């Protein structure tokens, strides 16, 4: 898809772009969902010493990790039409005005919160 876009930027191959978006979603969704369901942390979260916790009790998200990953990644498939990018931006910025837990939209859907890891 990238080579096609570089060869002719005015006529990108929509099929290849769509397939690459779906593959990227599947890989990201699998990684994020599995890591959060296991211990609430991805490799980046481990390095930053934070983790995802269930809002109600602070437990590891388990199944909620999968729904959190889906809400974060799924709109990325719509990225070629800009809708996914706009959602991702709004989703990421949501924490700046959310009170009291500073949750992003994917946290709100999954009923999770990011906390300091011990």
What's the chain look like in SS3?
A: CHHHHHHCCCCCCHHHHHHHHHHHHHHHHHHHHHHHHHHCCCHHHHHHCEEEEECCCCCCCCHHHHHHHHHHHHHHHHHHHCHHHHHHHHHHHHHHCCCCCCCCHHHHHHCEEEEECC
Per-residue pLDDT 10s for the chain (118 aa) are 666 666 766 766 777 777 877 888 899 999 999 999 999 999 999 999 999 999 999 999 999 999 999 998 888 777 666 777 888 899 999 999 999 999 999 999 999 999 999 8
Please state the domain extents for the chain: 2-116
Q: What does the alpha-carbon distance between residue 11 and residue 33 come to, in Å, rounded to a whole number?
A: 35
The pLDDT value recorded for residue 12 is 67
Taking the model in full, what pTM does it have?
0.81
CB 103 within 8 A of CB 113: yes
The dihedral through the CA atoms of 79, 87, 47, 56 has a sign that is negative
């Amino acid at each position: 898809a990238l080579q096609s876009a570089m060869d002719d930027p005015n006529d990108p191959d929509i099929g290849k772009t769509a397939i690459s978006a779906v593959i990227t979603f599947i890989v990201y969704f699998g990684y994020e969902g599995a890591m959060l369901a296991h211990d609430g942390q991805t490799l980046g979260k481990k390095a930053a010493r934070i983790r995802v916790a269930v809002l109600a009790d602070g437990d590891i998200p388990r199944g909620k990790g999968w729904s959190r990953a889906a809400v974060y990644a799924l709109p990325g498939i719509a990225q070629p039409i800009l809708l996914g990018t706009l959602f991702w931006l709004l989703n990421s910025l949501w924490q700046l005005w959310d009170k009291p837990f500073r949750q992003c939209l994917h946290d709100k859907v999954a009923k999770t919160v990011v906390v300091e890891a011990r």
